Structure 1
């Protein structure tokens, strides 16, 4: 059996402002932006450059309950983990593009990591795994 997680839905306030952040600030690729008239919504998918794995579905909040979770889908914990092949290149570029880091870079046993927030406040790890880490061959 072979299975994979294809998309992770991320609740956003507005499609266009989310696309602007992910494409222009994080440098993600816009994979799809398709209007779905039957539901009056868009299917917006972004992915880190060069990624072959899971993508992010930018899902606009459609009711009050969803809106209150925008930016806090995991109760304040780090939600997503962006792996890179060059931590310092990406960290410095993200700083220059105005990305807010809430935890400074640290060297850990598993690699180099810093925590940043997206435009709504969701927390992300930017990390470069050490070559010995079991997941490093997957990045």
Structure 2
């Protein structure tokens, strides 16, 4: 069986990105390995998430990559963080300083609100509807 294992997210700085994803979003730091050339292999994922649902945080290493930081999906929501308790996670994330771009809304597919990561990439926080 095939599956999508990792997705790379280009970041400005490893440590600030790790701090945001672990502290503000509550992700687990799966791996942080020095590669010996000034780069690191950094993997984070939501707690309890399957092994195949993780982000590689890759520090931008040239001007083209630096320009892509925060705009990797052209301003569209590019990442979807599912939760089993929207209110709990929305409250925790808001308290941690995560910037939501809208009030939570109820859609046929679930409760959702768009937020930005520390670089401006847009995410949905989504609690799917029970029958979705």
Work out the CA distance in 2 between the residues paired with 1:100 and 1:62.
Answer: 27
Structure 2: gaps (5+ residues):
none
Offset at residue 59 of structure 1 (A): 0.5
Name the count of aligned residue pairs.
131
For 1:107, the equivalent position in structure 2 comes to 106
Superposed counterparts of 1:15-30, under 5 Å: 15-30=14-29
For 2:34, the equivalent position in structure 1 comes to 35
Asked if 1:92 is matched to 2:91, the reply is yes
Asked if 1:51 is matched to 2:49, the reply is yes
TM-score for the superposition, normalised by structure 2: 0.97
Asked if 1:81 is matched to 2:97, the reply is no
TM-score for the superposition, normalised by structure 1: 0.92
Structure 1: gaps (5+ residues):
134-139
SS at match of 1:8: strand
Q: CA RMSD in A?
A: 0.8
Moved over 4 A (4+): none
Work out the CA distance in 2 between the residues paired with 1:115 and 1:22.
Answer: 16
Residues 75-114 of structure 1: CA distance to partner in whole angstroms, max 9, x if unpaired? 1000100000000000011111111000211000100000
SS at match of 2:17: helix
SS at match of 1:68: helix
Offset at residue 46 of structure 1 (A): 0.1
SS at match of 2:30: strand
